Chains A and B, each alone.
Chain A
């Protein structure tokens, strides 16, 4: 299912990576942030919303990276270059990610910054939407968000243009050893 997901997600301009361990994923993430210019100044910060991934990770070590922050506010989210969150599920047949986004912090980091980095447990890959909906209880999952590729429009002369109100880039990082809800 991973290969199907990757092909579908890349088909809608998402970037897909996969790592066996959390350490390897984290190392990649840090290099990526630095390469793309993370810094402690407006329009360059990275904002990481509360994620199961962070359990057991030495936060103080991460805080030494200038511009990487963990306290999500709407002002900060609106001025951040990167938003990082963990998405619980991936749908193989459409290349979509899905998350219980009831907590507004999760929505802010994935909708306001320019680049959204999504960490996903590989075990969270599901075949399709019917499987997802069968697992979700909407009374608890008050805001179920599905994300398929970056924000896009074709409203001017039907020319596909990436990045309108949401992120311009969607970077998906699968982590094999991350336990999932699935």
Chain B
């Protein structure tokens, strides 16, 4: 990570205006978005959008040609090019041929992508942004920090300073007054401009139409008042059918700003009359800029299903802390990371891809059904492929992959860590490792790991067997969670075996793009776990469960390795997370919890992998309530805790405030206990509570349930 990049993160996180405005917006957004989608089957809707956009992405050439034919039949001039330089030259030529002095623009990310404004201004053309947010950042000499809300990082005081300079009058920070100033200042520009430049939200091949949406009404003026209109449209905006405009418009405003529809929607098909009776000179530029290459990439083609709503920014726990400028000058957030890797270059995304904590919140809300976290993982994988794994990481994987060595080192650490250990925590680490305990205490390494304790646990000999996959954290930090699981399963007449050969699930390597390493981990685990015939392979760590159930397969597939694929599929079929298994056993009457106890208030934190990858949320809640706890939901119960595996180590400055927010939400419920199903979340949240001296108990569901078994 470059020091400049680290510095930009630091600047953003310590900017109270930015984090305050974004934080407030993101909290309100989730609630308002849900309301806007009331009565709509979102899954069905986004299925249709994904299908129609994916279909269009497979036929970009054909649809471009159809669009051109139909738009030109209605009097438009269409120009298609792959090259941003040729887009700029084309626009300049139209301007020069018509002796243009002033241009008005409505908001367009495509023009940002090709840095059009400075280019035209260098040629002596006055360019006026008319979207209020864009105008603000133009006056400030900045770039947009959000695709839909470009000036969200600025306060009303900063805006009033800018406007005061512009009108030579000291203005207050009264927002309606500032908006009025913008209207009055920009109105003469609109009337004087001899050329309008817009983007396009949708381009329809069947009719040659372009669709423009705004709330302010500026696009209507940009496309109506000047005699020349140039629309710059990325070819990913093409769809085939006119009727499908309604499908996209059903989702776009709801996902973007939680509106049912923007104030203005204009669907323009070819030339329209000007106020002097002449016909509009309409140019539509279909810009490729590597979009066709993207469409030809089996993995990244789905990124063209994006409708540019920016909901992936709005729900991102990292974006709401750092804002857009950390991501670069144009596209920001989750989808922005992907677009930057393509429209700019892969190398440019090297730093920003590391911002993704892989919580999956964006995948759940994307109206184009794009698996954004997965595509960011693919960027990581390709970066590692191009540049190799950094040396330090490489040596860590060498250790992790050598089971004996890894376990030996962890044991050594349990002894070496002792001077810094107080009770159950490591509170301070020396030297460069100190960042690890910044804002969060780490668990002390268990004196005796689970694998050594297992042999001493007495179990009845039972016919039905389950293999326990412990994962590193339970094995070495929280062996008591494994013991609790055995107690519960024995009660349901299931004997637990612990295959000794099991090793790291490969998640750390995979999340850092080292797929070859992850594949090695997968093979070792398959060998170990498939040796004995068991009914279930159960884990109390959702990240490990996801690895066993899904990621071994996808890692093999993406590397084109087939040798272990069928065994990986068999393992996947047997794998189950702890809460789902216990819920099933309770439902089948094989396990009963003590009835009629009043255990008091509890709140539940949804772990990212459990909720969004495994789709498990109700099972632990039902079990805890059955056991006698009174559930009080916290605000943003399924928002990431900031752990993200090694993320908390690589990005401590981002991880810590995410954790703070989580701790606050937990404490505000007033519940004395918070339950969760992931040992990683336990480590993060328990460590945070310890550091801040809070009395809230942080427990894994498995421990709480083991205490409430009916004898």
Contacts and interface: CB of A to CB of B under 8 A. Distances in A.
Interface of A: 8, 12, 73-74, 78, 93-96, 101-105, 107-108, 111-112, 128-130, 132-134, 138-139, 141-159, 161, 163-167
A132 B249 CA distance: 13
6 contacts: A138-B208, A149-B263, A151-B216, A151-B263, A159-B175, A164-B132
B261 A165 contact: no
Interface string B235-269: 00000001101100110000001011111111111
Contacts of B225: 74
Kindly name the residue among A132, A152, A159 whose own CB sees the greatest number of chain B CB atoms within 10 A.
A152
Contacts of B132: 153, 155-156, 164
A33 to B, nearest CB: 22
A133 B243 CA distance: 6
Contacts of A134: 243
B490 interface: no
A46 B260 CA distance: 30
Nearest to B247: A130
B207 A155 contact: no
Interface stretch (B183-191, B320-328, B459-467, B527-535): B183-191
Nearest to A145: B266
Interface in B181-222: 182-183, 186-187, 190-191, 204, 207-209, 215-218, 220-221
A108 B276 CA distance: 13
B156 A156 contact: yes
A107 B253 CA distance: 22
B131 A155 contact: yes
Nearest to A140: B269
B180 to A, nearest CB: 8
A161 B178 CA distance: 10
B176 interface: yes
Given A93-B260, A104-B274, 6 more contacts: A104-B272, A129-B245, A155-B133, A161-B175, A164-B215, A166-B216
A164 B182 contact: yes
A164 B267 contact: no
A94 B220 CA distance: 20
B243 A143 contact: no
A156 B151 contact: yes
B149 A158 contact: yes
Chain B: interface size category: 35 or more
Interface string B150-178: 11101110010000000000000001101
Contacts of B118: none
B694 interface: no
Contact of A165 (B178, B218, B249, B260): B218
B273 interface: yes
Kindly name the residue among B25, B179, B266 whose own CB sees the greatest number of chain A CB atoms within 10 A.
B179
A155 B220 contact: no
B458 interface: no
A152 B216 contact: yes
A104 B269 contact: no
A48 B208 CA distance: 31
A111 B179 contact: no
B586 to A, nearest CB: 44
Given A143-B267, A164-B183, A111 B242 contact: no
Contacts of B245: 129, 133
B215 A151 contact: yes
Given A94-B261, A138-B207, A165 B266 contact: no
A102 B271 CA distance: 9
A128 to B, nearest CB: 7
Contacts of A147: 263-264
B41 to A, nearest CB: 15
Contact of A158 (B25, B187, B274): B25
A8 B261 CA distance: 11
Nearest to A137: B207
B183 A165 contact: yes
